[in-house]
Amino acid sequence: MKKRTAKWLTTILLSATMILGLTACNSKSEPTTGETTAESKAEYNLPSNETEAAAVDKANVKEIMNIAVSQEGANYDVHKTTTLVARQLFSGTVWEKLVTLNGNAEVVPELCSSWEMSEDATTFTFNLREGVLFHDGTELKADDVVASMNRWIEAFSTAKDLVGNGRFEKVDDYTVKIVCDSAALTLVDMMAGAAQPAIVTTKSICENEDENGYLKEYIGTGPYKFVEWVQGQYITFEKFDDYVPYYLEGTTEEIMDGWAGYKHAYTKQLKFWYVPEAATRVAGLQTGQYDVILSLDSENSKIVEGSTGLEVASEQAGTIALVFNKSEESIAQDINIRHAVNAVANSDDLMMSAFGDYYDLGSCYMDESNAFWLTDAGSEYYNIKDEAKAKEYLETAGYNGETFKILAPTLNHYDNIALVLKAELEAIGMTVEVETVDWATFTTLREDKTVFDLYITSFASVPVPSLKAYYGPEYPGWTVDDTMAEKLAAFNQSTTKEQAYEAWVALQQYSWEYLPCINAGHYGTGYGYSEAVSGLSFGNGVYFWDAYIPQ
């Protein structure tokens, strides 16, 4: 059964509510906070992430936790990569941010103790926590934050567009600020929840890049330090004994809330094994080779659920996007070509080919977990499945048999989506070529404007619409359009909830008309784990800050 209206883990996703933090009234009804009850945890076999420290016998905890992942990043410089596995492994574990998101998707302090925003939303001041240590033993200070945050802005076009010429600057050793060119109300939201995380490393590490501009070293402030990456095999983290934990604001309780709170790091070593084959991950979980596995599809979830001593958790995780190459190197620069592809695409067939039961249809670019932002604007363009209409668009474009090139990773069966789309396009008379590669190769190839006309990827749930990477003119796909830029700016410069929502509705409507990508639908993912594992944290991924296995 397709889970079109299923709850999955929607109640505990980090981006469950609107998080702009604006104070003005809004005529649109407020979303629920999505509290996770004991009943909902039992329903989804979700282990509690509110671990009571006193109940854990640290002397009798298994020293190594083995986790199997389906992806391997080309690099793990999260300032400059949107690869999901990079932030799921490193962000919050090795690296931390000035601010992060709690379980209700509210922005809360992490490396800062507090922050202030000016009344005109142009100036942001952050007061740093004192005594926080990096993995190299140096103390976190303003110079490190300034270097890290400005590097993030330069690498993340969405943030760069928002702040204009504004950059972080040092006020004193424990205070930094940024003055933006205009209202930048969503800046802290971007810092807390962007797909290119605004992590903080040392000033010297920021200045130590390789020939491609990526960090050579991974030094953070998190509860685990990076030890080793053997490409094609595994990544190892070890507990950072000098980690300086923090409590949730206003409490002294040693608990986690979403991505925020007290990180115990009970397990001495986390070992993430690169295992691209789903069946191999499942077999390894069944034999005890792995304690936790990621990227569990609907069919394999049934196998795990039927295995003694194993559990499954699942969540709606984001959207599948068919991103068009809108550069002059591609025939998809012609909007009529883009509409032809969109008109014939059958979202059910595309999503089912990769996700089985783990998907929902829906035209909104935002996910169900982002309740405030849901809109059906532009839905008349979604899942049309009209071959005649598609042929009309091709005729208007003057299509004459040119090859339409599709690029897809083999990750999570995205190559199946490419093959289904190929058949649909051939049915309307298009010549189609499909190239399928591993994920690391895919992230490199999609930077080349001559390689593809469309590529297939996923975007995890984000707290605000402006964080959708495909709106960036520098992001592969190259959305360079004055009207799109104007509508995005209107959203970014909103000063009330009502204004922000109205701007988003207009932006999504135009997005379906312009088609930077096709939002095929909303995908789900599952996680399998031994019932012996406790303390896992969920929400746009599974995290291991407080995870442990009793001996």
Residue 158: its pLDDT value, please? 85
Per-residue pLDDT at 328: 96
pLDDT computed for residue 47 by the predictor: 39
| Model confidence pLDDT, tens digit, residues 366-415 | 987 777 889 999 999 999 999 999 999 999 999 999 999 999 999 889 99
Closest CA to 4 of 551, 488, 524, 536: 524
At 70-116, the pLDDT tens digits run: 988 889 999 998 788 898 899 999 999 999 988 877 899 999 999 99
What span, in angstroms and rounded, lies between the C-alpha atoms of 379 and 297? 28
pLDDT tier at 55, thresholds 50, 70, 90:
low
**pLDDT over threshold 60, residue 23:** no
Once rounded to an integer, what is the mean pLDDT over residues 468-477?
90
Q: pLDDT digit string (tens) for 150-186? A: 999 999 988 998 899 999 999 999 999 999 999 898 8
Rg (CA), the chain: 23
Least confident of 26-35, 173-182, 213-222: 26-35
Q: pTM (2 decimals)?
A: 0.76
pLDDT bin (cut points 50, 70, 90) of residue 303 is very high
For range 304-330, the mean pLDDT: 94
Collapse the DSSP code of 471 into the 3-class scheme (helix H, G, I; strand E, B; otherwise coil) and give the result: helix
Within the chain, how many helices (H) and strands (E) appear?
15, 21
What the chain holds in terms of domains, given with CATH numbers, is 65-230+244-262 (3.90.76.10), 316-525 (3.10.105.10)
Give CA–CA dist 506/508, Å, rounded. 6
pLDDT digits 0-9 by tens, 133-143: 999 999 999 99
* Model confidence at 529: pLDDT above 90: yes
Give me the percent of the chain exceeding a pLDDT of 90: 70
Q: How confident is the model at residue 464 (pLDDT cuts 50, 70, 90)?
A: confident
Judged by average pLDDT, the poorest of 140-154, 272-286, 463-477 is 463-477
Percent of the chain with pLDDT over 70: 90
Over the chain, what is the mean pLDDT?
A: 88
pLDDT of 189 strictly over 70? yes
Q: Which two tokens stand for residue 191?
A: 């810092």
Q: Is 445 exposed, middle or buried (0-12, 13-18, 19+ CB in 10 A)?
A: middle
Where does 16-111 show beta strands of DSSP type E? 64-69, 99-101, 107-109
Distances, alpha carbon 59 to alpha carbons 67, 236, 364, in Å: 22, 21, 49
Q: For 497-518, what is the mean pLDDT?
A: 94
More confident call, 33 vs 188:
188
pLDDT at 496: 72
CA separation, residue 224 to residues 192, 257, 271, 312, 353 (Å) = 20, 19, 11, 25, 37
